[in-house]
Amino acid sequence: MKVQSSYGNWKQLVNIPIILFLFVQCSQLEIEKPSLFQFLFLSASPTSVGVVTSDFASGGRFKTFEPNSFTTFPTSIPIHSDAVGRYTNDRVFIVNRLNRDSIQVLNPQFGFLTEQEFSVGQGKNPQDISVWNDKYFISLYNADELVIYNRSSGIKTGSVSFTSLRETYSTSGIPDSSVEASYMIQDGSSLFVLLQRLDRNDVSGYLPPNSDSYLVEVDMDLNQIKAVYTLPYRNPSSKIQKVFLFGEPHLVFSCVGRVGFISQIDAGIIAFRLSTRQFHPNRLFAEETAGGDILSFQIKNEEYGYASVLDAGFNKTIQVFRPRTGEKLGTLLQIPGNIGISLSGLLLTNEGKLLVGSTDFSRPGIYVYDTNIGNVLLNPIPSSVELTPFDIFQLQNLP
């Protein structure tokens, strides 16, 4: 096995089997210390989830958490303070964003040790990664291309140009050159990429969506754009979920429009029908109903969905909604805007546990709700994951 890093165009080769052998031999001399197998192989369980945590300053950690027993495993892998995670092709991919600008690959079979890391270019701000055959496709926030890297070497081999999709309007009269490519998802050989297309030169100093946002379909075999779909609402911000709704699969994601200090009620959760390549005529959950910007969500089925909502007064809520009708069913958690606690990371596990990350700096952690028994909160005190949780994801390959 090869452990690779392309920082500064250098590589380091490590013979993992030899290290394992030497470690096992040494551990036999001090049996009171944890064995190698405890360290490497007891770092997760079949129902564990991955958690990206951060101190929002010097760095972060990748942790594993078991929501049924509220167990946080001891494995703690150093990552960037601004990162998100994805599990695919039997690996954890940590997307280290602005100021580290790298992809870090962790191997679950060896205690999530880093087996590869490579830079995507200083200041490019990577957002997501997809794996196809021998290629990595990586979306960049500060660029006008989808870059392609060799899977084994971590070297750039090509790109898909988004230059023709740059916004052509700015309130300043000078449109910027970035398309703000964010989250992606695969369907067969097609890769769907969200382009926010924000106005970085807007006279307000914020980044409003003054142009339409796009969903771009890329052919991963031919490395070229297959189709471009204009979103019915602007500024997609959530990860894309593939959900079986209305009898067939849809791509579902949340658009926030104008958000934060320029918040407006102008978007919501939308669904894209894969069979027809058309958007569902109705929002699954509208901002008018939620009362604010829907930052993230999870859908259990047509009857139950869960959304993290931020309103204009910076009040944070976790709301229950019905995707089939778009109606609000209730509120699970509410945090007033004058309290310095945010909600970051939302995941509904395959076992029906809803995980909510709390960024309370005095007691950060993960709340666990059981959606199988009426959305009951199982741990009134959030379970610690060492640092503040930022992103939570399944440690399973997507179908």
Mean model confidence pLDDT for the chain: 91
Q: Which of 247-267 are b and which e, b meaning 16 or more Cβ less than 10 Å from the residue's Cβ?
A: eebbbbbbbbbbbeeebebbb
Q: What is the C-alpha to C-alpha distance for residues 266 and 163, in angstroms, rounded to an integer?
A: 27
Query: Quick one: average pLDDT of 258-270?
Result: 96
Q: What is the C-alpha to C-alpha distance for residues 121 and 107, in angstroms, rounded to an integer?
A: 24
Residue 18: which residues within 8 A CB-CB, separation 6 or more?
none
Residue pair 61/114 in contact by the 8 Å Cβ criterion: no
Residue with token string 């950060």? 364
* pLDDT (0 to 100) of residue 42: 59
Higher pLDDT, 75 or 6: 75
- pTM, rounded to two decimals: 0.90
pLDDT digit string, tens, across residues 175-200: 999 999 999 999 999 999 999 999 99
pLDDT digit string, tens, across residues 284-308: 999 999 999 999 999 999 999 999 9
